[in-house]
Amino acid sequence: MVEVKRLPNGFEYLEVTNNIASAKIALQGAHIFSYKTDLENLWVSSIANYEDGKAIRGGIPICWPVFGKPVYSQLNQHGFARNRMWELVNSKEEDDMTILTLRLRDTRDEHFDYKCELNVTFNIGNELEIELTTKNLDSRAFKITQALHTYFAVSNISEISITGLENKPYFDQRDAAHKIQKSALTIDAEVDRIYQNTDNTITIHDSNKTTSITNLNSKSVIVWNPWIDKSLNMDDLNNEGYKNFICIESANALDDFVLLQSAKSHSLKIKIDFINIV
R_g over Cα of the chain: 18
Which residues bind to ligand TA6, rule: CB under 6 A? 55, 68, 77-78, 149, 173, 192, 222, 224, 249
Q: Cα-flanking dihedrals φ and ψ of residue 205, to 5°?
A: -105, 115
| Closer of 16 and 81 to ligand TA6 (Cβ) | 81
CA distances from 149 to 60, 159, 162, 193 (A): 5, 21, 16, 13
How far apart are CB 259 and ligand TA6 at their closest, in Å? 22
| Closer of 129 and 249 to ligand TA6 (Cβ) | 249
Instruction: Pick the closest to residue 211 from 243, 246, 183 (CA basis).
Output: 246
Q: Which of 127, 129, 131, 249 is catalytic?
A: 249
Name the closest residue to ligand TA6 (Cβ).
224
- For the stretch 36-41, contacts whose Cβ atoms lie closer than 8 Å and that sit 24 or more positions apart, written own/partner, are 37/126, 37/274, 37/276, 38/276, 39/209, 39/276, 40/153, 41/128, 41/152, 41/153, 41/211, 41/272, 41/274
How far apart are CB 69 and ligand TA6 at their closest, in Å? 8
| Closer of 21 and 55 to ligand TA6 (Cβ) | 55
Q: Which of 15, 87, 149, 159 is catalytic?
A: 149
| Closer of 27 and 248 to ligand TA6 (Cβ) | 248
Cα–Cα distance for residue pair 192/67, rounded to 1 Å: 13
How far apart are CB 62 and ligand TA6 at their closest, in Å? 11
Question: Catalytic site residue 149?
Answer: yes
How far apart are CB 99 and ligand TA6 at their closest, in Å? 27
How far apart are CB 222 and ligand TA6 at their closest, in Å? 4
| Closer of 128 and 222 to ligand TA6 (Cβ) | 222
Residues labelled as active-site residues:
149, 249
